[in-house]
Amino acid sequence: MWIDTHAHLNDDRLFPDVEMLLQRAKEQNVGLIINAAYDLASSQRGVALAEKFSPVYTAIGLHPHDAHDYSEAFKEEMLRLARHPKVVAYGEIGLDYHYDLSPRAKQQEVFIDQIQLANELKLPVLIHNRESHGDMLQILKDYPIEQGAVMHCFSGSVEFMRECINLGLYISFAGPITFKNASKLCRVVEATPLDRLLIETDCPYLSPEPYRGKLNEPSQVVWVAKRVADIKDIPLDELEMKLEANSKSFFHLL
């Protein structure tokens, strides 16, 4: 089966239709979906979704956009939510220097603290990185993530990918690899070791071709898979088995 390793079913645009979206995913042989959180409410909603729907697992955590909202009370709630057996990751957390919705120093402070919290909880980490490669690598070197991490929706260079691989990270690709102007990103896919590769939708964002510009959903992860298979010149069924194994290993779902 296919596994969408990063979806936002907790988003207001998808949440009302989750049952229908899961049915459409099932029809495309998307058997598991990892829901990613970005703040307190989405973390709580993610746990509720995972509890209600068997194909859904979830992550908890605070996106760098909202680093200014981080508090001891938030940490306490994450510790409580993490007790749920279907919480399988911490994230998405990291740095975002494109929008700078929280001060960069605050983003770094909160990222480090959440890495340490994830280590305490023995959870792998979903990393958000946008235009922050240098600081990101330095933090990952100074504060190792003990249970593994994935650079979600990868958008960097081959060189940055190799730096991440050297630190033990997985690399996840989404809809942008299907875009017509994605030649640089496709070279990264080609160079990424297959045993360190994951796929995702990041829905409701980044719909792949031929749905670009429309609302994304978990069923569309198969278009990302088809593009990976094409770039790496391997049979789709072989890729399916490998990515399932990678995903289950990373999220400890074996």
Yes or no: say if 88 and 61 are a contact pair by the CB < 8 Å rule: no
The per-residue pLDDT for range 104-133, each reduced to its tens digit, is 999 999 999 999 999 999 999 999 999 999
pLDDT at position 20: 98
pLDDT at position 25: 98
Domains, the chain, in order of start with CATH, read: 2-250 (3.20.20.140)
Q: What is the mean pLDDT of residues 181-189?
A: 97
The terminus-to-terminus CA distance of the chain in angstroms comes to 14
Question: 221 — phi, psi (to 5°)?
Answer: -65, -20
Count CB neighbours of 99 within 10 A: 10
Mean pLDDT of the chain: 98
Q: What is the pTM for the complete model shown? A: 0.97
> Does the pLDDT value for residue 254 go beyond 90?
no
- Pairing mode, strands 56-60 and 30-35: parallel
Q: Which two tokens stand for residue 149?
A: 């991490």
pLDDT at position 203: 98
Q: Which two tokens stand for residue 196?
A: 């360190």
Peptide bond into 64 cis (omega under 30): no
The per-residue pLDDT for range 89-108, each reduced to its tens digit, is 999 999 999 999 999 999 99
Bridge partners, residue 129, by sequence: 95
